[in-house]
């Protein structure tokens, strides 16, 4: 709880911009208007991305100005559409949690009728133990390139 409070206040926030293009958790897909889109290394849900707010350290939507909120949701619209058009899932979950890292980021999670948690949120377990399915680098790059292609759709 103490660590979370420090992170909430912006001390040592691992998601503040600028951040590395690659980490143990993601690879950069593209910077958008006020956020950057990353492809998660964990591809249990094929196409799982995170859209991280770049404007400044902010933890909750209500901390944004209306202008920042609109720019962020415009980015979200483009990002989730590009993911949908890339992986053609049965459904998609879009979530802001921030229970571990309280810096605004959307999880964009394609869902499939044969996925391990169909019918439920992907977050389970106490404490949360994510499943880990990784893809070969070439497949990750191909996914990334196709998402970039669809980000240009109008």
Report which secondary-structure segment, H or E, holds 38. Answer: strand 35-40
Question: What's the min distance (Å) between Cβ of 135 and Zn ion?
Answer: 28
Judged by beta carbon, residue 46 or residue 103, the one nearer Zn ion is: 103
What's 103-140 look like in SS3? CCEEEEEEECCCCCCCCCCCCCCCCCCCCCCCCCHHHH
Q: Spell out, one character per residue from 93 to 122, where the chain touches Zn ion: x when CB under 5 A holds, - when not.
A: ----------x-------------------
- What is the number of the residue whose Cβ is closest to Zn ion? 13
Give residue for tokens 């404490």. Answer: 127
Are 148 and 30 spatial neighbours (Cβ–Cβ below 8 Å)?
yes
Question: What's the min distance (Å) between Cβ of 90 and Zn ion?
Answer: 33
Asked if 34 interacts with Zn ion (CB under 5 A), we say no
Asked if 13 interacts with Zn ion (CB under 5 A), we say yes
Distance linking the first and last C-alpha atoms of the chain: 43
Q: Would you give the DSSP letter of residue 22? A: B
**Using CB under 5 A, which residues numbered 53 to 72 contact Zn ion?**
57
Which tokens is 97 given?
């949690």
Judged by beta carbon, residue 51 or residue 143, the one nearer Zn ion is: 51
Judged by beta carbon, residue 101 or residue 122, the one nearer Zn ion is: 101
Residue ranges in contact with Zn ion by CB under 5 A = 13, 15-16, 57, 103
């Amino acid at each position: 709880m103490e660590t979370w409070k420090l992170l909430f206040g912006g001390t040592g926030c691992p998601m503040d911009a600028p951040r590395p293009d690659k980490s143990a958790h993601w690879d950069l897909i593209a910077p958008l208007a006020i956020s950057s889109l990353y492809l998660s290394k964990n591809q249990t849900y094929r196409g799982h991305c995170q859209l991280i707010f770049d404007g400044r350290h902010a933890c909750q939507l209500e901390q944004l100005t209306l202008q920042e909120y609109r720019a962020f949701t415009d980015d979200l619209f483009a990002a989730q559409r590009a993911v949908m058009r890339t992986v053609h899932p049965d459904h998609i979950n879009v979530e802001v949690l921030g229970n571990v890292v309280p810096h605004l980021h959307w999880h964009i999670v394609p869902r499939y009728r044969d996925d391990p948690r169909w019918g439920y949120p992907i977050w389970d377990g106490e404490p949360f133990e994510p499943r880990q399915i990784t893809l070969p680098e070439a497949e990750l790059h191909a996914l990334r390139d196709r998402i970039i292609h669809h980000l240009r759709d109008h």
